[in-house]
Amino acid sequence: MSVQPTPAGASGGLPTGELLGRYRSYEDAQKVVDHLASADGFDIKSLSIVGNDLRSVEHIRTRLSYPRVALGGAAQGAIFGGFIAMIFYLFTPETPLLELVSIILLGAAVWMIAGTIGYAVRRGRRDFASVSQLTATTYDVVCDFSVAGRARQLVKESGTVSLNAHNDPTGRSGNLGGERPAPTQQPRGEGGSSDHASPDSSSAEQARQRAAQWQTEDGRPRYGVRRDDVKGAEEWPKRQDSPEASDT
């Protein structure tokens, strides 16, 4: 099943359109979009912000210990117990306050014991607390082709500098702004004509490849290969490079 690209601003799939710029942070891309949105008559629904090279980042917050784990478990259990106590109070307002407090304390105790036991089981394998997030290396601002001309003019007035081939961490900024890569040209010789391989050199190269297939790395023939075939494959490039072969 293939995923079809969608126009910029449409929901679902990657947008298609002109790349207005690539920025290192989401705040820079947001600043460009805000500048375009403030322009009169500009259709902001044609804009999209695309994150490149998503990375999972885990920020280490603190070192864990038994007191810290127990205190954190008790706090979570108290919150859960308070939620249960609130439900009891909503359905039975005549419930005594002492019972509601006991529910909160019971939740704190259960969660504290469960957290302490879990920490003791995994002791030495994960003695830290962390927070994970998904972030992108760079952010692209893409607009629909129908408004690309005006969008380029407005982006220049935003004051936000886009990345280029020298400072782009993704290494793929050579095609920014919708530019097409220039076609590669074949190297030319001294006479100005392209260096195309002649039939003789092509045949010699094929013979060398066949000889490499028939021989092992130390020069011995492979199993099931005749020595005459290997010898003929080795002599063929020499005959092609000899002066007699070039005269013919």
Shared domain check, 78 and 31 = no
Shared domain check, 32 and 17 = yes
Q: Is residue 217 part of a domain?
A: yes
Conformational region of residue 12, where left means phi above 0, alpha means psi within -120 to 50, and beta covers everything else: left
Segment 82-92 mean pLDDT: 92
CB 131 within 8 A of CB 56: no
Shared domain check, 105 and 136 = no
* DSSP category for residue 215: B
Q: Is residue 43 part of a domain?
A: yes
Shared domain check, 52 and 70 = no
Task: Give the pLDDT band of residue 5 (cuts 50, 70, 90).
Answer: very low
pLDDT of 109: 95
Q: Is residue 211 part of a domain?
A: yes
Q: Is residue 248 part of a domain?
A: no
Shared domain check, 140 and 41 = yes
Phi and psi at residue 20, to the nearest 5°: -80, -30
Number of domains, the chain: 3
Segment 14-36 mean pLDDT: 90
Shared domain check, 138 and 119 = no
Q: Is residue 167 part of a domain?
A: yes
pLDDT of 16: 84
Shared domain check, 205 and 90 = no
Task: Give the pLDDT band of residue 95 (cuts 50, 70, 90).
Answer: confident
Whole-number average pLDDT of the chain: 75
The answer, yes or no, to whether residue 245 has pLDDT greater than 60, is no
Q: Is residue 181 part of a domain?
A: no
Question: Which residues constitute the domain of residue 222?
Answer: 199-241
Q: Among the three residues 107, 126, 145, which one is the final residue of a domain in this structure?
A: 126
Phi and psi at residue 156, to the nearest 5°: -65, -30
CATH code at 148? 3.30.70
Beta bridge partners of 47: 143
**Residues 6+ positions from 119 with CB-CB distance below 8 Å:** 64, 66, 69
Shared domain check, 47 and 82 = no
Q: Is residue 194 part of a domain?
A: no
Shared domain check, 78 and 108 = yes
Q: Is residue 111 part of a domain?
A: yes
Shared domain check, 141 and 101 = no
Shared domain check, 55 and 16 = yes
Beta strands in 36-170 (DSSP E): 47-63, 128-143
Strand, coil or helix: 194: strand
pLDDT tens-digit readout, 174-211: 444 444 444 445 545 444 444 444 555 556 666 666 65
Shared domain check, 50 and 11 = yes
